[in-house]
Amino acid sequence: MTMLVNSLIIGAGPAGTAILSAADKNGCLPELVAAGLVMVDRADEVGDGLIGRYTINSDSTAETFLTAVNQSKVDAVRALEHDPVVRAVAAHIGDLGVPLPKAATFLKLVGERLSGFVQSHGGSLLTGHEALHAQQMPGGLWRVHVRNLRDGSAADILSRALVIATGGHQPEDLIAEKQVAGVPVATRYADKLLRSDIFLAQEGLGEARRILAGRANPRIVVLGGSTSALAALNKLLRPDSGLALADGALTLLHRRPLRPFYPSAEAAEAEGFTEFGPEDICPISGFVYRLAGFRLEARALVVRLLGINGSPPEPRVRLHRIAGEEDLEAARIMDEADLVIAALGYRPLAIPLRDSDGEHLPIAAELPHHPSMVDGACRVTGMDGMPVPGLYGIGLAAGFVPHGPLGGEPSFRGQANGLWLWQNDVGQLIVEQLLRQARTERAVA
């Protein structure tokens, strides 16, 4: 049997359930569900995705997580205020993030309550189901073929709008195509290369120790200037890493300058940080490096590495900013390292798409230079840069960049990820388009 709905969200992890949270906070979750809503996820539980496997702290504050409860309009979600899981996150108010295993438990609990609301109000949640592919159909519909992973049965879902919230990944070919300072890292350092996605997970330190076995004074290089790269450094520096690191044992190779976030220009100047201009200040919030700036634990390390405001140095870490594709010093540092951790980004984990003829429907993110999957309205774009009708994306590696009323500094280059954005402005941007579609259909009918 084939069902027809207004909205189909593929992925019920942090990004997918963030759409529900955004609609909830804005009071329009009942309308979104009533219009016809289905969520599909391979896992048996919702809300947390894979973040529980990472042994690092979140780059979102405890206060950010808690807004999903204290700003909710769903009784069952608000009732969680005194739940032990919620209180465990609240215990980290004022800290430099929340341990991701705790955050995962919290997101799963909130996700269960929100998805429970969806199901009790006429929507559907298909856990343990895999979306195999989605095909454009005449009349603007999407046909999504799903398979029940428990019994192998299959079904089709017709939807007016499709949201890809399947997250990002670090495939082997992402690293294979990368060159750092002119060096093909995947082939040259195959025996000592570790992807950050693996290193930041629970098994990461074990993998690092395996590569470093027998080396008394290991030298480790982290490639990249992202939050993941700083998280890798922090994990290496922790006392429980089990690694004996001498001064200068760790080197961060990065291209862009490292910038800390500040709540205002005055706050930055008060600490003696002046490496910013008008284009680095968000015109909406007044924040300095609102998008490009490191926050929480990553920020604390950057402040030390840059020696801002007389912060004590971290002698075990050296910085080297890569100077083009012929940086011989950068190549030497990598050559002499015992372990190279590659934090070189993610790609969107989109499902296979087909056009109305059943042929592969290419999207812009598949181009060789891997542009953003989505445009400024979270619409997935085709090879021609135009939005694919009825197709949206959200989450890690989707490539959304805040703009206009959403704020952000004009100088920002890159993509913005974060739970607060997904649960608020970005999630609501998608919700409004889904509701607009539903209202248009009702008006025509």
Measure the CA–CA gap between 24 and 110, rounded to whole angstroms: 12
Same domain, 307 and 351: no
| Full DSSP string of 350-413 | PPPEE-TTSSB--BGGGSTT---SB-TTSEEEBTTSSEEEEEEE-STTS-----GGG---TT--
Measure the CA–CA gap between 87 and 191, rounded to whole angstroms: 44
What CATH number corresponds to the domain at position 241?
3.50.50
Question: Token pair of 120, please?
Answer: 């009790």
The residue out of 342, 376, 403 marking a domain boundary is: 342
**104: in domain:** yes
Same domain, 371 and 237: no
Over the chain, what is the mean pLDDT? 94
Same domain, 134 and 208: no
Q: Tell me, what DSSP letter sits at residue 307? A: T
pTM score: 0.93
Q: At what angle do helices 204-211 and 227-237 cross, to 10 degrees?
A: 70
**25: in domain:** yes
- CA–CA distance from 28 to each of 161, 184, 434 (Å)? 17, 49, 11
Measure the CA–CA gap between 418 and 285, rounded to whole angstroms: 17
Measure the CA–CA gap between 340 and 337, rounded to whole angstroms: 7
The residue out of 303, 319, 342 marking a domain boundary is: 342
**Beta-carbon-side half-sphere exposure of residue 59 (alpha carbons within 13 Å):** 22
CA dihedral in degrees (29, 31, 398, 203; nearest 10)?
40
Measure the CA–CA gap between 128 and 225, rounded to whole angstroms: 36
What CATH number corresponds to the domain at position 10?
3.50.50.60
Same domain, 188 and 153: no
pLDDT number for residue 418: 83
User: Residues 428, 422: contact at Cβ < 8 Å?
Assistant: no
Measure the CA–CA gap between 213 and 215, rounded to whole angstroms: 6
Same domain, 192 and 64: no
Q: What are phi and psi of 299, to 5 degrees?
A: -65, -45
The residues, any chain, with a CB within 8 Å of residue 269's CB and separated by 6 or more, are none
Same domain, 185 and 307: yes
Give the DSSP H/E element, type plus range, for residue 135.
strand 129-136
- b/e burial code for range 348-376 (CB count within 10 A of at least 16 → b): bbbbebbeeeeeebebbbbeeebebbbbe
Same domain, 141 and 219: no
SS3 state at 381: strand
SS3 state at 188: helix
pLDDT number for residue 1: 53
**281: in domain:** no
Question: Token pair of 428, please?
Answer: 């609501």
Q: By residue range, what is the domain housing residue 193?
A: 172-258+294-342
| Number of structural domains found in the chain | 2
Low-confidence residues in the chain, pLDDT < 50: none
pLDDT tens digits, 148-164? 999 999 999 999 999 99
CB atoms within 10 A of CB 139: 7
Same domain, 221 and 330: yes
**217: in domain:** yes
| Full DSSP string of 37-82 | EEEEESSSS-S-TTGGGB-SB-SS-HHHHHHHHHT---HHHHGGGG
**266: in domain:** no
Q: Please report, as a single letter, which amino acid is at residue 214.
A: G
The per-type count for the chain, helices as H runs and strands as E runs, is 16, 18
**184: in domain:** yes
pLDDT number for residue 445: 64
Same domain, 127 and 184: no
**271: in domain:** no
- CA–CA distance from 125 to each of 11, 45, 150, 414 (Å)? 10, 10, 15, 33
According to DSSP, the β-strands at 168-169 and 154-164 are unpaired
Q: Tell me, what DSSP letter sits at residue 406? A: G
Same domain, 97 and 147: yes
Q: Please report, as a single letter, which amino acid is at residue 264.
A: S
Unique residue bearing structure tokens 């004996």 = 244
User: Residues 35, 12: contact at Cβ < 8 Å?
Assistant: no
Same domain, 129 and 15: yes
Enumerate the β-bridge partners of residue 126.
40
Same domain, 338 and 351: no
- b/e burial code for range 77-115 (CB count within 10 A of at least 16 → b): beebeeeeebebbbebeeebbbbbbbbbbbbbbbbbbbb
**279: in domain:** no
CB atoms within 10 A of CB 155: 14
Q: Please report, as a single letter, which amino acid is at residue 124.
A: S
The residue out of 324, 342, 360 marking a domain boundary is: 342
Question: Token pair of 175, please?
Answer: 């690293």
